[in-house]
């Protein structure tokens, strides 16, 4: 198809150049040379212009004609013209070849064709270093040979459960006969599911590195092209190459780009092409022919959009959940990355792990890298705990905005606001321990109070949620007590938003309302509403739910008010320390709670 296209382009270009060169238009009559001679002898021609082979002329009736003479060296022509009183104008005959003229005039178009050929050449797939034909259907999978993969399970941390699930794949690839004796079959596919940055790709590489087998890697989006049938052809070609190097691993990253549920869109074009590609992938994984020794590992963070036929046993036999690491996992990940940089003796990975709940492996690696960059900027020889703390705060709380200059009044008000959060968090029961308070502006906040959970929590009691709402109102209450009702600022807007959303969830979703009972109202809607909610609810019930939310928020606000009023001296002392130092840590906070003005530790 591509060759035919180029041939037609060349033919059209030459014809256009030729006719443009002889100057044909809709008003020009084309005469053969014999016709031209006959009309010359009949005295029908008024004047002519001779230009090499081309003769442009005008009849006595005003019409224009054009002809080509067979040879330039024709002396009798000039004599005939003179005998018939024909005016000869223009250039002298030259001996330039017509093909030379065509070549010169078509030179720009030939350059365009050469550029087209160059780009078409770039689209071909080279096999074994030799240029092949222009083919779009070749697989774009990158092949990593078994000797090139240096990553093993020792380089993967924080996902021990996921590693244990894939270890038998390595055993199977290393010793296939042991499993075949008992009738065991190798899983055809392993689907890794998890949030971004949890190490799905790294774990797949570790499997290939442990098993010492070739590793084919490709993204799901690389299958689908604008040409119909290209994606399916690439899938076939990839599995053909994989069979030649069996046993091996095919890793498809972001498989949701090609594996979405079929028929989920009414559009055509690329959508139809994606479905054809998916159909071919389904056939290759579990069709009429078997793929012996070829394991397909795919990764996605959107398993809900994948086609059911792709998820059934026989295609993706196993689903491995690669979750966010817990405290132990985060500490192991940090140790893995910290061993690559020079460290001072004060570094405690466990403290960093405690302060990074919900962080992925990629984010922890970024913390270590940011700490190393910060140490290099300060011209230090070792990375200390201070640099790691700065890098962690940058990731979690945002960059410090030192250029923002606050007035003394605004700075003091911010100090009281953050001190209010800290006092409530310290004194209310079942709240996470406080770790650091700062009034240095970061991202969108003028100050930040950071709490450090002792363990990762996966569920919360009603008492713990009440404590969280109370600590969120601590800043607003501290402003109201110290500045008066008219002195309250907008600094608590985000705190109020979070507290309201939490109270709404407690009443609507978790059944923590004393009046409405353990019913999840989150799936209900009013009779006159049009939305995706499943059930109906009356206006009276909605009014009761709203009253419960307001009652819960008022209760928490009063608890916070009472705690701040009873500890006003500690609030003043902490606010003064924050105004003086701008940032205080848990050691300084401990001194403040003992009634002492702290020394600067950081």
> Which residues carry a binding-site annotation for Zn(2+)?
417, 421, 495
* Strands lying side by side in the sheet with 248-253: 142-144, 215-219, 248-253, 294-300, 189-193, 318-321
CA distance 520 to 532: 15
Three-state DSSP at 300 gives strand
Q: Of 482, 472, 401, give the one whose Cα is nearest residue 431.
A: 472
**How many other C-beta atoms lie within 10 A of the C-beta of residue 457?**
11
Instruction: Report the greatest alpha carbon distance in the chain.
Output: 128
DSSP conformation letters of 321-333: E-PPP-HHHHHHH
Contacts of 206 (CB under 8 A, 6+ apart): 151, 152, 153, 155, 156, 163
DSSP secondary structure letter of residue 582? S
Radius of gyration of the chain measured on its C-alpha atoms? 40
CA distance 392 to 349: 12
Are 294 and 251 in contact by the 8 Å Cβ rule? The answer is no
**Cα separation values, 68 from 32, 53, 325, 490, 599, Å:** 7, 5, 84, 89, 104
- Angle 408-427/539-566 helices, nearest 10 degrees? 100
Counting other chains too, the contacts that 14-17 makes at CB distance below 8 Å and 24 or more residues apart are 14/102, 14/106, 16/109, 17/102, 17/105, 17/106, 17/109
Does 418 qualify as catalytic in the annotation?
yes
**How many other C-beta atoms lie within 10 A of the C-beta of residue 270?**
14
Annotated binding site for ATP: 194-201
DSSP secondary structure letter of residue 264? S
The runs of H, that is alpha helices, within 195-289 are: 200-211, 230-244, 270-285
Question: In which element (H, E) is residue 28 found?
Answer: strand 28-30
Locus of tokens 């591509």? 2
CA distance 505 to 499: 10
Q: Which of 418, 479, 480, 548 is catalytic?
A: 418
For the four alpha carbons of 423, 424, 430 and 432, in that order, the dihedral sign comes to negative
Q: Of 359, 318, 394, give the one whose Cα is nearest residue 158.
A: 359
For the four alpha carbons of 9, 14, 15 and 16, in that order, the dihedral sign comes to positive
Burial of 386 (0-12, 13-18, 19+ CB in 10 A): middle
Return the active site residues.
418
């Amino acid at each position: 198809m591509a060759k035919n296209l180029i041939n037609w382009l060349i033919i059209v270009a030459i014809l256009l150049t030729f006719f443009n060169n002889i100057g044909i238009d809709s008003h020009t009559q084309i005469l053969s040379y014999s016709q031209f001679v006959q009309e010359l002898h009949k005295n029908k021609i008024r004047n002519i212009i001779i230009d090499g082979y081309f003769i442009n002329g005008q009849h006595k009736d005003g019409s224009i004609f054009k002809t080509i003479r067979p040879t330039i060296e024709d002396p009798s022509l000039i004599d005939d013209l003179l005998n018939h009183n024909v005016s000869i104008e223009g250039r002298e005959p030259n001996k330039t070849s017509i093909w030379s003229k065509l070549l010169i005039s078509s030179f720009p178009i030939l350059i365009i064709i050469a550029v087209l050929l160059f780009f078409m050449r770039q689209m071909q797939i080279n096999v074994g270093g030799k240029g092949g034909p222009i083919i779009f259907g070749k697989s774009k999978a990158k092949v990593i040979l078994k000797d090139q993969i240096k990553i093993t399970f020792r380089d993967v941390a924080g996902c021990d459960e996921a590693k244990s699930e894939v270890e038998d794949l390595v055993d199977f690839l290393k010793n296939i006969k042991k499993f075949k004796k008992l009738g065991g079959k190798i899983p055809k596919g392993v689907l890794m599911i998890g949030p971004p940055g949890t190490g799905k790709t790294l774990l797949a590489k570790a499997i290939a590195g442990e098993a010492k087998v070739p590793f084919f890697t490709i993204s799901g989006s690389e299958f689908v092209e604008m040409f119909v049938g290209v994606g399916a052809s690439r899938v076939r070609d990839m599995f053909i190459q994989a069979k030649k190097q069996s046993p091996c691993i095919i890793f498809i990253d972001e498989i949701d780009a090609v594996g979405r549920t079929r028929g989920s869109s009414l559009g055509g074009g690329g959508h139809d092409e994606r479905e054809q590609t998916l159909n071919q992938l389904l056939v290759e994984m579990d069709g009429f022919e078997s793929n012996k020794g070829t394991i397909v590992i795919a990764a996605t963070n959107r398993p809900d959009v994948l086609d059911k036929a792709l998820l059934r046993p026989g295609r993706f036999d196993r689903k491995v959940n690669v979750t966010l690491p817990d405290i132990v996992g985060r500490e192991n990940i940090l140790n893995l990355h910290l061993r690559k940089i020079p460290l001072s003796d004060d570094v405690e990975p466990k403290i960093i792990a405690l302060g990074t709940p919900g962080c992925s492996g990629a984010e922890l690696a970024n913390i270590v890298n940011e700490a190393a960059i910060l140490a290099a900027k300060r011209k230090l020889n070792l990375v200390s705990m201070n640099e790691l703390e700065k890098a962690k705060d940058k990731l979690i709380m945002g960059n410090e905005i030192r250029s923002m200059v606050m007035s003394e009044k605004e700075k003091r008000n911010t100090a009281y606001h953050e001190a209010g959060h800290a006092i409530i968090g310290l004194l209310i029961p079942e709240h996470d321990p406080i770790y650091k308070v700062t009034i240095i502006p970061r991202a969108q906040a003028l100050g930040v109070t950071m709490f450090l959970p002792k363990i990762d929590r996966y569920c919360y009691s009603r008492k713990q949620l009440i404590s969280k709402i109370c600590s969120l109102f601590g800043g607003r209450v501290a402003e109201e007590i110290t500045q008066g009702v008219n002195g309250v600022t907008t600094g608590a807007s985000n705190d109020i938003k979070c507290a309201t959303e939490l109270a709404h969830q407690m009443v609507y979703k978790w059944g923590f309302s004393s009046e409405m009972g353990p019913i999840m109202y989150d799936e209900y809607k009013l009779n006159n509403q049009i939305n995706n909610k499943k059930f109906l609810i009356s206006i009276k019930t909605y009014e009761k739910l709203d009253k419960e939310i307001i009652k819960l928020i008022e209760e928490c606000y009063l608890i916070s008010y009472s705690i701040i009023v009873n500890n006003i001296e500690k609030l003043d002392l902490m606010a003064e320390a924050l105004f003086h130092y701008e940032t205080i840590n848990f050691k300084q906070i401990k001194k403040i709670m003992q009634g002492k003005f702290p020394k600067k530790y950081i």
